[in-house]
Amino acid sequence: MTISGENSSNLIAVAKKTRLAALKLAVLSTDAKNQAIEAIAQALEAAKDEILQANIADCERATTEGIAKPLYKRLQLDEHKLRDAITGVRDVGKLPDPVGEVQVHRELDKGLILKRVTCPLGVLGIIFEARPEAAIQIVTLAIKSGNGIILKGGKEATLSCEAIVKAIKQGLSQTAVNPDVVQLLTTREEILELLKLDKYVDLIIPRGSNSFVRFVQENTRIPVLGHADGICHLYVDKAADIEKAIAITIDAKTNYPAACNAIETLLVHANIAREFLPKVGEMQQLNVELRGDERTREILPNIAAATEKDWETEYSDFILSIKVVDSLEDAIAHINDYGSKHTDAIVTEDAEAAETFLSLVNAAGVYHNCSTRFADGFRYGFGAEVGISTQQMPPRGPVGLEGLVTYKYQMTGNGHIVATYTGAEAKSFTHQDLE
Amino acid sequence: MTISGENSSNLIAVAKKTRLAALKLAVLSTDAKNQAIEAIAQALEAAKDEILQANIADCERATTEGIAKPLYKRLQLDEHKLRDAITGVRDVGKLPDPVGEVQVHRELDKGLILKRVTCPLGVLGIIFEARPEAAIQIVTLAIKSGNGIILKGGKEATLSCEAIVKAIKQGLSQTAVNPDVVQLLTTREEILELLKLDKYVDLIIPRGSNSFVRFVQENTRIPVLGHADGICHLYVDKAADIEKAIAITIDAKTNYPAACNAIETLLVHANIAREFLPKVGEMQQLNVELRGDERTREILPNIAAATEKDWETEYSDFILSIKVVDSLEDAIAHINDYGSKHTDAIVTEDAEAAETFLSLVNAAGVYHNCSTRFADGFRYGFGAEVGISTQQMPPRGPVGLEGLVTYKYQMTGNGHIVATYTGAEAKSFTHQDLE
C-alpha cells in the first residue's frame, strides 16, 4: 500500500501504475463508479474500529511529541467525524458525473462531426496536512471524476491514513475499479519527488497552510489548484446602508476567522466614516482586535496603528485592519494592489457604484451587499468543493468536480481530408451546431 | 512607442501602464471595442506605404545579415499579405464578444443571486518570431477580448513591427480605447524580463519554433498558451478501409508538413501491413522520405531504418516514420508514450475499435477516419485561433477568443450573511438556476 520512496524511480513506478489503472477507470460508466463509491463507504464502515484505533495511536504519538493544540484537533478522528466523512462519500455518489459531458457538438461538413467531451485529467496528486478524513473525501471525488490519485497525508496522520487507504482499497477490490488507482505516500521526501513528476501527474491539490501552498506552487511545473492567501476586503461605500454594513462586517470577520473567505481589511469611505466606524469600534467587545490607519484612529483613538504590513497580511484570526479612503476608485485600487484575488465585497445602495466595483475589482469573487463568507463550493451549490483557486485563468474561485476534468475534441469523419477544403476549388465548411 | 528595456523597473512601469489602460478597456461595450477595431483597420490602410517601406528595410538588413530563406519568406510583408491581415482585423470585429457571457446564474436564496460572468484576463504577453503581420492579428484579438497586450516581435521585423504598432496606436487614439493598451518591446533582453512579470502579465502566448516555446514554458510562472511539439500519429487499424487510409495518410503528411497538426508517425496493424504498406511506399514518389521499424522494412526493404529517436521527433518536413503494431492497445500505448497530446487519428471501419481509441488516447484531439490536419481553430468554426494548447487542463486543443478571457463570480445580496445559513437554526439555500 505504501512505498519506500528511497528514490524517484520508485515513485515513477507508482505513478505509472496509478496512471495505467486510471486509464481503465476513465472509461467506466457512471453506475460502475457509483458502485465503487458505495463499496468504499461500506468498507470504511466495516473498518471503523481499525481506523479509529490507528488514529488513537497517531494522537498518542503526536501528544508525546508535543503537537500544537489546533493541529491535534485536526488530527483527531472520532466516530462522529468518521460517520460524517462516510456520509460525504455517499453524497459524492449522488452528484452528477462530470465525465462525458458534450460541450460542443458541431457538423463541420456532411459526415464530419466534431464533439468536445469532458474527460478525466488522469492522475491527481493531493498533499494535505494533518486531517485524515480529507483522504476519504478527496479519494471519492477522484473516483467520481475518473482520476487516479496519489495521496500524501501529514506525517502525524500516517497510521490513520494507512488504515483509511487500506479500507478504501479493500472496498475497491470488489468493484470494477482497480485498487491501484489510489496510492498513499508516507515520507516527507516524497513530496518533492511528487512535485517533479509533471509527466505522470496532471494536477496537484495542496491542502494546508499558506506557506505550504506557496511552497508547492513555487516548486512544481504541474498545475496547482488552490490558493496561498485569502486576503479579502470589505468596502463600505459612502452610500452604504449602515445596518447592512455592520452586519456584513461582523459576519465576514467573526463567523469563522480562520477561513480563507473571512475579511482581513475594512475600507471605509471618508463621508461615512464618522457614522460607521464607532459601530465597528464595538466589535472590540466581540474580541476583535482593530488596527487602523491615521484617519481611522482619529475616530477610534483607542485602537492600534495599522502599518503597510497589515494591508498584506491574512490574519486568519480575530484581527481587522481598517483604512479610510476618499473614493470608490481608491478602494478598488487598494484591493487590486493588496488583495489576493479571492473575494472582495462592497456595501452600498448606489447601483452604479456597485457595478463599477464588480467590474473593476480583479478577484475570483466580487460581491455586493453580502458577506465574503459565501465564497464556498457548497454554498454556490456545486455539491462538493475541490478547492478555491485564486489564479487568473479558469478554474477560478470555488471549484467543484468540474475542476477535476478536462476535455478532448473528438472528430469522426468518413475519409475526410483537408485538401478538399483548401486551394482554388476549396469546399466550404458548414459549421452547424447540432442538437 | 518602444521602451529602452535597460532594466526591469522600466518594463514594470510599462506593464503597469498597460494594465491601467486595460482596466478601462475591460469595461467597454462591444460596440466601442468594434469601433476601435475598425479604426485599427483604417489606420493600417492609411499607413500602408509606411509599413511596407519599413518591411523593405527589415528585409534588406536581413538579406545583408544572411537570413535563412524560410525565415525571409515569413519576414516579408507584401501588399497582398497586408491586405489579408487588414481583412482579418475586420473579421475579428464581426466575431461575438467573448466578454460578459453569463455562464452561471443561480439564486442561492431569495435576493441572493450568483452569476459567473466572463471577463478579460488582463494583460497578454505575446512573443512571436519574424512574421510581422502576426502583430496585427493578435492586437485585434486582444482588444476584442478586452485585454492589454505587450508585444515582442522577432528582431528581424523590428522596423515593420514599429510601423504597425505606430499605426495601430494612431488608430486607437481616435477611439474609446487608450493606445497604452498596446506596447511593443524591441530588445531581446526584454523577453526574459517579460517572463518574470507574473504579477503584471496574465498569459504568455509564444509563437515560434518548438525550442523557443519550450524555452518560454520553462522560464516563466505565467500561464503559457501554446505547444512545443506537435507529434501527431495516424493509426491504421486492421479493419481499416485501405482507400480512406491512404488518402488520409497522404493528406496528414503532405498537405502542409510544417504545420503542427501534420503526422510524424504512422502505426499500422500487422494484419493489414502487407496490403497497406506497399501503397504507403508509393509516397516516396511524392518526395516523402519513409523510415520504418524492422517489420515495416520487411515489406518496404528500400526505406531507411527508424530508430527510437524517430518516434520522438517532429520532422516538420516530408519525412514519415512507420511502425507495425500487433494490436489497437499497442498503438494506443505507443501514442500515449511518444505523442505530444496534440492530435492523433485512427482509420478503421470497426466502431468499437474507434471508440476505444477516442477514449483511451490522451490528446487534445482524437480523430476517427479523418485527417489530423483538421486540428485548427478556423476549421473548428471558432472564427479565430489564438493558439493550440497541448496541456492537460483546459483550454486544450485549438483555442479561440474564449482562451483570452477568464470569469469571475459576481454575487448580489441585500445584507445577506453566512450566519443565517449555519448552526442549529440554519436556513437552507434554494440553489435554483435562473433563466
**Do both A201 and A241 map to the same domain?**
no
How confident is the model over B372-411, as pLDDT tens digits? 999 999 999 998 899 999 999 999 999 999 999 999 999 9
Burial class (CB in 10 A: 0-12, 13-18, 19+), B6: exposed
| B179, B173 contact by CB (below 8 A) | yes
Please tell me if residue A357 touches chain B, with a CB cutoff of 8 Å: no
Which residues from B are below 8 Å from A388, CB to CB?
Answer: none
The residues in A 155-174 lying below 8 A from B, measured between CB atoms, are none
Cα–Cα distances in angstroms (integers) from residue A411 to residues A228, A421, B243, B270, B345, in the given order? 39, 16, 19, 25, 9
Beta bridge partners of B86: none
Please tell me which of the candidates A121, A360, A414 has its beta carbon nearest to residue B392: A121
The verdict on a CB contact (< 8 Å) between B429 and A381 is yes
Q: How far apart are CA B388 and CA B386, in angstroms?
A: 7
A351 lies within 8 A of chain B by CB = no
Cross-chain Cβ contact B243/A393 below 8 Å: no
Please state, in angstroms and rounded to a whole number, the distance separating the CA atoms of residues B280 and B278. Answer: 5
Same domain flag for B242 and B166: no
Q: Are strands B397-399 and A405-416 parallel, antiparallel or unpaired?
A: unpaired
Region A401-415: mean pLDDT is 97
Q: Are residues B91 and B23 in the same domain?
A: yes
- The tens digit of pLDDT for each residue in A108-167 reads 999 999 999 999 999 999 998 778 998 999 999 999 999 999 999 888 999 999 999 999
Lookup: cell for B403 = 482562451
pLDDT for A208 equals 82
Nearest-Cα residue of chain B relative to residue A381: B431
Q: Summarize the confidence of residues B45-56 as an average pLDDT.
A: 98
Mean pLDDT over A175-185 rounds to: 97
Residue B402 lies in a domain: no
Q: Are strands A102-109 and A432-433 parallel, antiparallel or unpaired?
A: antiparallel
Residue B358 domain flag: yes
On whether the CB atoms of residues B43 and B170 are closer than 8 A, the answer is yes
* Inter-chain CB proximity B411 and A368 less than 8 Å: yes
Mean pLDDT (chain A) is: 94
Q: Cell 492522475 belongs to which residue?
A: A123
Per-residue pLDDT, B210? 87
Beta-sheet strands, E only, within A312-421: 319-325, 343-347, 365-370, 387-389, 397-399, 405-416
Give the end of a domain, one of A218, A246, A265: A218
Q: Which helix (H) or strand (E) holds A41?
A: helix A30-46
Helix, coil or strand: residue A432: strand
Residue A3 has pLDDT above 80, yes or no: no
For residues B90 and B210, membership in a common domain is answered with: yes
Residue B204 dihedral angles phi and psi, to the nearest 5°: -110, 130
Residue B428 forms part of a structural domain: no
Longest CA–CA span in chain A (Å) reads 82
Place of cell 483538421: B374
Range with the largest mean pLDDT of A74-78, B3-7, B145-149: B145-149
In a domain, B187, yes or no: yes
Query: In B, which residues are within 8 Å of A396 by CB distance?
Result: 406-409
Q: Read off the C-alpha cell for B385.
A: 485561433
Facing B417 at nearest CB: one of A247, A412, A422: A247
- Judgement on whether residues A190 and A161 belong to the same structural domain of the protein: yes
Nearest alpha carbon to residue A227 among A70, A379, A343, A368: A343
For residue B124, give the 3-state DSSP assignment: strand
Which among A392, A428, A434 is the top mutation candidate for probing chain B, defined by the most B β-carbons within 10 Å of its own β-carbon? A392
Q: Are residues A213 and A356 in the same domain?
A: no
d(CA B231, CA B339): 5
> Based on the number of CB atoms within 10 Å of its own CB, is A22 exposed (0-12), middle (13-18) or buried (19 or more)?
buried
Please calculate the CA angle A396-A402-A405 and round it to the nearest 5 degrees.
Answer: 110
Write phi, then psi, for A324 (nearest 5 degrees).
-90, 130
Residue of A nearest to B100 (CA): A359
- Strand, coil or helix: what is B277? helix
- Rg of chain A on CA atoms, in Å: 25
Same domain, A244 and A196: no
Cβ A350 vs Cβ A241: under 8 Å: no
C-alpha A84/C-alpha B290 separation (Å) is 62
Min CA distance, A353 vs chain B (Å)?
13
**A40 CA to chain B: closest CA distance, Å?**
26
Check whether residue A293 and residue A201 sit in a common domain: no
Assign B337 to helix, strand or coil. helix
Of the residues A16, A20, A385, A416, the best mutation for testing chain B's interface (the one with the most B CB atoms within 10 Å of its CB) is: A416
Report strand pairing: A203-207 vs A123-128. Answer: parallel
- Shortest distance, CA B418 to any CA of chain A (angstroms): 6
- What value does the mean pLDDT take over residues A87-99? 96
Beta carbons of A381 and B418 less than 8 Å apart: no
Q: Give how far A65 is from chain B: nearest CA, Å.
A: 35
Residue A400 lies in a domain: no
Domain match, B156 and B213 both? yes
Chain A residues close to B362, C-beta within 8 Å: 122
Which uninterrupted H or E stretch holds A118? strand A112-120
- Average pLDDT for residues B60-77, to the nearest whole number? 90
Q: Please report the DSSP string for A194-229 in residue order.
A: HHH-TTT--EEEEES-HHHHHHHHHT-SS-B-S-S-
Answer yes or no: is pLDDT of B5 > 60: no
Q: How far apart are CA B46 and CA B44, in angstroms?
A: 5
Residues A15-31 have pLDDT tens digits of 999 999 999 999 999 99
Rounded Cα gap, residues A71 and B90, in angstroms: 60
How many CB contacts within 8 angstroms connect chain A with chain B?
214
The string of pLDDT tens digits covering residues A365-404 is: 999 999 999 999 999 999 889 999 999 999 999 999 999 9
CB A315 within 8 A of CB A289: no
Q: Which residue has the cell 483527531?
A: A76
In degrees rounded to 5, what are phi and psi of residue A256? -170, 80
**A417 in contact with B, Cβ within 8 Å:** yes
Q: Establish if A409 touches chain B: CB-CB under 8 angstroms.
A: yes
- Is the confidence at residue B163, as pLDDT, over 80? yes
Nearest by CB to B408, which of A221, A250, A396?
A396
Mind listing the pLDDT tens digit for each residue in B261-283?
999 999 999 999 999 999 999 99
Whether the CB of A226 is below 8 Å from some CB of chain B: the reply is no
Helix, strand, or coil here: B114?
Answer: strand
Amino acid at B170: Q
Q: How many CB atoms lie within 10 A of CB A415?
A: 19
Percent above pLDDT 90 for chain B: 88
**For B10-29, how does the pLDDT look when each residue is reduced to its tens digit (9 = 90+)?**
899 999 999 999 999 999 99
DSSP state, A105? E
- What's the confidence (pLDDT) of residue B187? 86
Cβ contact A413–B368 (<8 Å): yes
Do A23 and A126 reside in the same domain of the chain?
A: yes
Of B218, B374, B393, the CB nearest to A411: B374
Q: How confident is the model at residue B7 (pLDDT cuts 50, 70, 90)?
A: low
A20 to chain B, closest Cα gap in Å: 10
User: Residue B192 belongs to what domain range?
Assistant: 8-218
> Model confidence over B281-311: pLDDT tens digits?
999 999 999 999 999 999 999 999 999 999 9
* ipTM of this complex prediction, to 2 decimal places: 0.93
State whether residue A262 is helix, strand or coil. Answer: coil
Give the CATH number, domain containing residue A158.
3.40.605.10
B113 touches chain A (CB under 8 A): no
Q: Is B202 on the interface with A (CB under 8 A)?
A: yes
Q: In this predicted model, what pLDDT tens digit does every residue of A122-133 receive, in sequence order?
A: 999 999 877 899
Residue type, A194: L
- With respect to residue A416, please indicate whether it lies within any of the assigned structural domains: no
- Per the structure, the count of domains in chain A is 2
CA distance B413 to chain A (A): 5
Residue A267 pLDDT level (bands cut at 50, 70, 90): very high
Angle at B113 between CA B107 and CA B115, to 5 degrees: 100
Query: What is the separation, in whole angstroms, between the first and last Cα of chain A?
Result: 47
- CB of A392 less than 8 A from some CB of B: yes
Q: What is the mean pLDDT of residues A241-260?
A: 96
| CA–CA separation, B207 and B187 (whole Å) | 17
Write down which residue in A329, A346, A374 finishes a domain: A374
Could you tell me if A124 lies within 8 Å of chain B, comparing CB atoms? no
Q: Which of B158, B119, B138 is nearest to B409 (CA)?
A: B119
Radius of gyration of chain B (CA): 25
Instruction: Assess if residue A396 is contained within a domain.
Output: no
Mean pLDDT of B204-226: 90
**DSSP-derived pairing of the beta strands A148-152 and A123-128:** parallel
C-alpha distances out from residue A163 to A50, A234, A235, A420, B76, Å: 7, 44, 47, 60, 67
Q: Which residue of B has its CA nearest to A416?
A: B370
Query: In this structure, are B238 and B211 located in the same domain?
Result: no
3-state helix, strand, coil in chain A (%, to 5): 45, 20, 35
Give Cβ neighbours of residue A330 (< 8 Å, ≥ 6 apart): none
CB-based burial label for B69 (10 Å; 0-12, 13-18, 19+): exposed
Band (B8; pLDDT cuts 50, 70, 90):
low
Residues near A65 by beta carbon (within 8 Å), at least 6 away in sequence:
none
Mean of all residue pLDDT scores within chain B: 94
Q: Using CA atoms, how far apart are residues A269 and A354, in angstroms rounded to an integer?
A: 14
Asked if A214 reaches chain B (Cβ–Cβ under 8 Å), the answer is no
Point out the residue among B241, B409, B416 whose CB comes nearest to the CB of A371.
B416
- Judge whether B409 lies within some domain: no
Q: Cβ contact (<8 Å) for A429 and B381?
A: yes
Residues 6 or more apart in contact with residue A238 via CB below 8 angstroms: A269, A270, A271, A272, A348
Q: How far is CA B309 from CA B158, B265, B315, in A?
A: 37, 12, 11
Confidence of residue B6 (pLDDT cuts 50, 70, 90): very low
pTM of the model as a whole: 0.93
Q: H-helix or E-strand containing A173?
A: none
A20 in reach of chain B (CB within 8 A): no
* Together in a domain, B20 and B161: yes
Question: Domain boundary residue among A359, A374, A389?
Answer: A374
Burial of B141 (0-12, 13-18, 19+ CB in 10 A): buried
Classify residue A9 by burial, with Cβ atoms within 10 Å: 0-12, 13-18, 19+.
Answer: exposed
The CATH number of residue A279's host domain is 3.40.309.10
pLDDT over threshold 80, residue B324: yes
pLDDT of residue A129: 79
Bridge partners, B28 (sequence order): none
B-chain residue closest to A360, CA distance = B23
In A172-288, at which residue ranges do the beta strands (DSSP E only) sit? 182-185, 203-207, 232-236, 263-269
